A = this chain, B = another copy of it.
Amino acid sequence: MATKPSISKGTRDFSSVEIAKRNYLKNILQITFEEYGFSPIETPSFEKLETLTGVYGDEGDRLVFKILNSGEKIKRADISAYNNGENHKFIKSISEKALRYDLTVPFARYVVQHQNELTFPFRRYQIQPVWRADRPQRGRFQEFIQCDADIVGNRSLWQEVEVLHLYDRIFNKLRIKDVNLRINHRNILEAIITIFEDKSRIYDFTVTLDKLNKIGKKEVFKELIGKNFHSKLLDIIEKIFGLQDNFQNQIKFLKPLFTNNQKGLEGISELEFITNSFKLCSSDSVVLKFDFSLARGLNYYTGMIVEADSPKNINIGSIGGGGRYDNLTNVFGMDEMSGVGVSFGFERIFLVMDQLGLFPDNLSYSTKVLFINFGDSAAEIAYSYMMKLRDKNVSSELYPTAAKLNKQLAYANSKGIKSVILMGSNEIRKKVFELKDMDSGKQTTYSLSKLINLF
B3 touches A333 (CB 8 A): yes
CB within 8 Å of B: which A139-192 residues: 143, 151, 154, 156, 158-159, 161, 165, 169
A397 touches B13 (CB 8 A): no
A119 touches B415 (CB 8 A): yes
A390 touches B169 (CB 8 A): yes
B280 touches A384 (CB 8 A): yes
1/0 contact string of A37-66 vs chain B (CB within 8 Å): 101111111111011000000000011011
Given A13-B42, A67-B65, A5–B109 Cβ distance below 8 Å? Answer: yes
Tell me how far the C-beta of A410 lies from the nearest C-beta in chain B, rounded to whole angstroms.
9
Partner pick for A8 among B47, B94, B383, B400, CB 8 A cutoff:
B47
1/0 contact string of A120-148 vs chain B (CB within 8 Å): 01011000010101000000000100000
CA distance A59 to B257 in the complex (A): 70
Tell me how far the C-beta of A121 lies from the nearest C-beta in chain B, rounded to whole angstroms.
6
CA distance A397 to B46 in the complex (A): 33
1/0 contact string of A52-87 vs chain B (CB within 8 Å): 000000000011011110110011010100110001
State whether the Cβ of A293 lies closer than 8 Å to any Cβ in chain B: no
Tell me how far the C-beta of A276 lies from the nearest C-beta in chain B, rounded to whole angstroms.
9
State whether the Cβ of A7 lies closer than 8 Å to any Cβ in chain B: yes
CA distance A39 to B366 in the complex (A): 7
Partner pick for A68 among B95, B117, B365, CB 8 A cutoff:
B95
Binds B, one of A14-22, A261-269, A343-351, A421-429: A14-22
User: How many residues from A make CB contacts under 8 Å with B?
Assistant: 103
A114 touches B41 (CB 8 A): no
With CB as the reference atom, state the residue of chain B lying closest to A276.
B380
A8 touches B48 (CB 8 A): yes
Given A48-B6, A143-B45, A68–B66 Cβ distance below 8 Å? Answer: yes
CA distance A394 to B95 in the complex (A): 46
Tell me how far the C-beta of A197 lies from the nearest C-beta in chain B, rounded to whole angstroms.
34
CA distance A11 to B97 in the complex (A): 11
A interface majority secondary structure: mixed
State whether the Cβ of A203 lies closer than 8 Å to any Cβ in chain B: no
1/0 contact string of A79-113 vs chain B (CB within 8 Å): 10011000100110011110100000000011011
- Residues of the B chain whose Cβ atoms lie less than 8 Å from the Cβ of A124: 16
Partner pick for A79 among B79, B99, B373, CB 8 A cutoff:
B79
Partner pick for A97 among B8, B50, B77, CB 8 A cutoff:
B8
Tell me which of A109, A277, A400 has the highest count of chain B C-beta atoms within 10 A of its own C-beta.
Answer: A400
State whether the Cβ of A454 lies closer than 8 Å to any Cβ in chain B: no
- Residues of the B chain whose Cβ atoms lie less than 8 Å from the Cβ of A97: 8
State whether the Cβ of A211 lies closer than 8 Å to any Cβ in chain B: no
Tell me how far the C-beta of A333 lies from the nearest C-beta in chain B, rounded to whole angstroms.
5
A70 touches B113 (CB 8 A): no
CA distance A383 to B273 in the complex (A): 14
CA distance A455 to B66 in the complex (A): 49
B44 touches A112 (CB 8 A): no
Binds B, one of A28-36, A217-225, A312-320: A28-36
Given A1-B50, A379-B158, A40–B365 Cβ distance below 8 Å? Answer: yes
Given A34-B365, A79-B79, A280-B384, A41–B13 Cβ distance below 8 Å? Answer: yes
Tell me which of A40, A124, A277 has the highest count of chain B C-beta atoms within 10 A of its own C-beta.
Answer: A40
A280 touches B380 (CB 8 A): yes
- Residues of the B chain whose Cβ atoms lie less than 8 Å from the Cβ of A398: 158
A1 touches B44 (CB 8 A): no
B13 touches A280 (CB 8 A): no
- Residues of the B chain whose Cβ atoms lie less than 8 Å from the Cβ of A394: 35
State whether the Cβ of A332 lies closer than 8 Å to any Cβ in chain B: yes
State whether the Cβ of A393 lies closer than 8 Å to any Cβ in chain B: yes
State whether the Cβ of A208 lies closer than 8 Å to any Cβ in chain B: no
What are 14 inter-chain pairs, A to B, with CB distance below 8 A?
Answer: A5-B109, A5-B113, A7-B43, A7-B109, A8-B44, A8-B48, A8-B97, A11-B46, A11-B47, A14-B43, A19-B40, A35-B396, A45-B131, A45-B143
